[in-house]
Chains A and B, each alone.
Chain A
Amino acid sequence: MTDLTPSLTPFLQAELSRAWVLAHHANRLLDRRVDLADQAMPGRVWGDGTPRFGHEAAAVGAVHAIRRRTDGSGDVFAASVRTLTACLSLGVSPAELFRQALGRAGSPDEGRAAPLHLHDLRRGVVGPIQPLGMVLEVMAGLTLGFRLQGGDRVAVAFAGEGAPSSGAWHEGLNLAAVRRCPLVVMIDVPNPVGADTGGGERGRSLEDLCEAYGVTGHRPSGTGPGAVFRSVQDAVDRARSGDGVQIVEYRPTDPDPIGSDERLGRWHREAVDRLDPPFEAALEEESIRERASRGRIFSDLEPESPWYRTVPHASAGHPGGHEGSMDHEPPTPGAAS
């Protein structure tokens, strides 16, 4: 196991904090938005919200450990439905996320895929893949392709907490391990290998998994984005330098993700309380220009914002790729979201 803990620069700490706040805020509002859309337009909303239980903290930390580009030349982040909002740190705008969720015109795929299956390799995002385990098959090939093309690109893959129970996940992991692909595999705690969907479990440890596949394991020292960032950064460095597949076992901030609706609701309310102070603090740190930009972003996020009622549903016709589908330019790579 490795857990390097270099000191983060104040700038990076602030960036991670802002990204996390934004992602978490987007998560909560994404769920609210879909709920409202369900009420306003019964039968016209595709899918539903997918609750996140602090996964965004780990995802934001992981995303900041990779090379972020908007021209298709950077590293790749494979999102699960619970970690998709980390693509806000890769240049995807909140408006794009919501348009995707609601099948609206101007979404990256013009309403073709499911609500959270946003995919944009120009910005390094492989959208959530279902069945879940398939993501590692695809990422094994993507990282094989990195090697074939030369260079030193790396991919970080979230698959979702049930994926390690699927054969596809293991086939992809095995292929990537055998070929020493530059792939970082993120798995949740509790490690769900040997678990069913009803709570039954005969869990295997990260150490068991790594020994079985001959790969390196990492365990962050905490649940926040900074701790995950440090651990994934080490994993990414090792993968980039030719050390093959790395597995990072992370823990969402909510220690018990499967619970009652009442408990879930309480958790969300508490999360709002927990988040607001750092959120406000982050805003205070912004310059006037950034404040204006952020104001636009958060006006998009508000459930009552004009675009919510005025942006039409996607129409027939082939999406024809992503070019021209964005309503504004993504932020500069490496900048705060």
Chain B
Amino acid sequence: MTGPDDLPDHVSRTRHREPATFLEAISEALWEEMERDGNVFLLGEDIGVYGGAFKVTRGFLDRFGVERVIDTPISEAGFTGAAAGAAHLGLRPVVEIQFMDFVAPAYDVITNYIATSMYRGAGPQPLVIRGPVGGGNRGGPFHSQNVEMAFFHTPGLKIVYPSTARDAKGLLKAAIRDDNPVIFEEHKGLYRAPALREVLPDDDYVIPLGKARTAREGTDVTIVTYGMMVHRSVEAAERLQKEQGLSIEVLDLRTLLPLDDDAIVDAVRRTGKLLVVHEDTRTGGIAGEISMRVNEQAFEWLDAPVLRVTAIDAPVPYAATLEDYFLPDVDDIARAALYLAKY
């Protein structure tokens, strides 16, 4: 479908002052960056003729042509490595991984080549590797993982994980314009969530990478989180406000690498109590790193141990009952925040 100006409807919501979904915000960001900069082009499986598994790039092939919207072979390593080669020329490729679970074959080229390029003197790698992540859609272990910690340990990369439509658009634009390689995670549960539809700013806004935002203000406990868990945490905070009279702050990291240490430490200094929530599994999750940084930088301000609520250490299950048990939910978060508030 196209809108009144013959643009695909999902890339023209803002132009028509209509609310955009999280997915449409991503489409708008890609479209606008490709219009703005001829060096931006897309690679991925089925992104051209088919418009992408989630239709993020529907209509892009007609507008930008086969040289800039490239339907690749099913070879994540091959086309991610190809993005690296194109980036050497100053081009700005955006790689779509159909499900980010499938980024694993490209781990080699991302960590060995792309992330080290600038350091090795081989020049910048201005590319984005983006795709859907996360559970709750009964996708099972091959279509539901969060991949951030597979890359978090690799110097040279940035990792972005937005939670709102506004952030998705502004952060993706920033990622495309960044001279560093960026892993951009999009929780598929947010893609078409009705509650996230919003009218986006109509200016060419860019949200700087590395800056967290306060999703909910509070004074008793700080919850540091990102992605889908921002919404779960806000819901838990509102429940505790209503039922317990507690004031819970929710800090949305937005960018995981680099971490916004200042925002985290500032929050801890104000509330003295920190709960880290992530949908990713527990061991080796980002909660460990955040806890250590708080230990190093704000230990004296802590009034309670740092706690975490995470998925359990298991592959993502398929069956609804199993996946619901596996994923952190509002009850889990509220219980941990209440424990901290009473500590």
Contacts and interface: CB of A to CB of B under 8 A. Distances in A.
A74 interface: no
A144 B81 contact: no
B88 interface: yes
B75 A174 contact: yes
Nearest to A122: B123
B200 to A, nearest CB: 29
Contact of B84 (A108, A130, A131, A137): A137
A134 B93 contact: no
A227 B337 CA distance: 74
A142 B85 contact: yes
A298 B70 CA distance: 48
Interface string B83-118: 111111101010000000000000011001100100
A143 B68 CA distance: 14
Contacts of A141: 79, 81-87, 93
A138 B121 contact: no
A131 B112 contact: yes
A319 interface: yes
Given A145-B86, A171-B75, A172-B82, A134 B91 contact: no
Interface in A101-156: 108-110, 112-113, 117, 119, 121, 126-127, 129-131, 134, 136-149
A134 B108 contact: yes
Question: B75, B81, B89: which has the most chain A beta carbons within 10 Å?
Answer: B81
Contacts of B75: 171, 174-175
A257 B338 CA distance: 70
Nearest to B117: A119
Contacts of A178: 73
Nearest to B66: A179
B73 A175 contact: yes
B89 A168 contact: no
A134 B112 contact: yes
B81 A137 contact: yes
Nearest to A119: B122
Question: A108, A113, A126: which has the most chain B beta carbons within 10 Å?
Answer: A113
A137 B91 CA distance: 16
Nearest to A131: B108
A145 B91 contact: yes
A178 B82 CA distance: 13
Interface string A164-180: 00011001101100110
B279 to A, nearest CB: 31
B80 interface: yes
B119 interface: yes
A137 B106 CA distance: 10
25 contacts: A113-B116, A113-B122, A117-B120, A119-B120, A126-B88, A134-B81, A134-B109, A136-B81, A137-B78, A138-B82, A138-B85, A138-B109, A141-B84, A142-B88, A144-B86, A146-B89, A148-B41, A149-B91, A168-B108, A174-B73, A174-B75, A175-B79, A175-B82, A179-B70, A322-B121
